[in-house]
Each structure stands twice: as C-alpha cells, then as structure tokens.
Amino acid sequence: MFEQPASDHAPDKIRDWVLRAGVGLVFVLFGLEKFPSGPESHWVQFFNQVGIGQWFRYFTGIVEVAGGALVLLPLTARTGLALLAITMAAASVIHVFVIHQPANVIITGALCLGISAFWWSRRQGA
C-alpha cells in the first residue's frame, strides 16, 4: 500500500548506474581501440578480412563510442543500448557469414543478448 515503484529505490538506481557505467565504459574503450591504424593492429587485420575497407573500422569505432556514451546518460540509455545490441548482432553475422569463425559468436552473441536484456528491463521500467 505504501510501497514506491521499484525504480525509486536507491539500490535499483545504484544497480542501474553501475550497469550503465560498466556497459558504457566497456564500449567506449572497445570503440577507441579500433582507431589506431598500425599494420600490426588486430582490428586493421580483422577489417581487412571483412573486406569492405578500413572506413568500416572507423565507422564501427564511432558507433561503439557513441553507443557507450549514450548508455551513460539516463535519458538516452535505451537508445545507446539498442544501438550497441544491433552492433553486436551485426558483428555476430559478420563472424559467421563473412569471416567464417562461428565460435566467435559466443562473445558477440553473449554481449548482444546481455545488452538486449538490459534494454528490455529498462523498457519495462519506463
């Protein structure tokens, strides 16, 4: 009768902040990692295998940094989570059908599912 909605509880707000901060910072770092252009860079080699040019590496880096930054802000978190989930889904498709390394989908798929679940939980609370 006198209970407040779950989103008003301090532990829920703290948990939401910690999750958003974790996801946001990880993807900002993932995105920034794609910008160095040295020939020994893992990402330069990976995007050479993808075959559509290094512009796609920069684009992916920008999308991941932007998504991570959006997740950090409460008003834009759902948009950032959706952007990152779509990015990880696309990465999964690329690993299977372009690079032909389906085992790597374990990582990108788990990230996609986790981010999607977080997005869904925020959607339910809205």
Whole domain around residue 60: which residue ranges? Answer: 11-125
Confidence at residue 4, expressed as pLDDT on a 0 to 100 scale: 41
Count of structural domains, the chain = 1
User: pLDDT averaged over consecutive 10-residue blocks of the chain (126 residues)?
Assistant: 52 91 97 92 93 96 98 96 97 96 95 96 71
Compute the distance between CA of residue 104 and CA of residue 70 in angstroms, rounded to an integer. Answer: 26
| Residue 40, domain member (yes or no) | yes
How buried is residue 89: exposed, middle or buried, by Cβ count under 10 Å (0-12/13-18/19+)?
middle
| Structural domain contains residue 6 | no
Within a domain: residue 46? yes
The answer to whether position 114 is within a domain reads yes
Q: What is the CA radius of gyration of the chain?
A: 17
Cβ atoms < 10 Å from Cβ of 6: 11
pTM score, two decimals? 0.87
Q: Is 5 part of any domain?
A: no
Residue 41 phi/psi, 5-degree rounding, is -65, 130
Quote the CA–CA distance of 47 and 70 in Å, as a whole number. Answer: 25
- Asked whether residue 4 is domain-assigned, the answer is no
How far apart are the C-alpha atoms of 61 and 101, rounded to whole Å? 21
Instruction: Give me the residue label for tokens 């809205």.
Output: 126
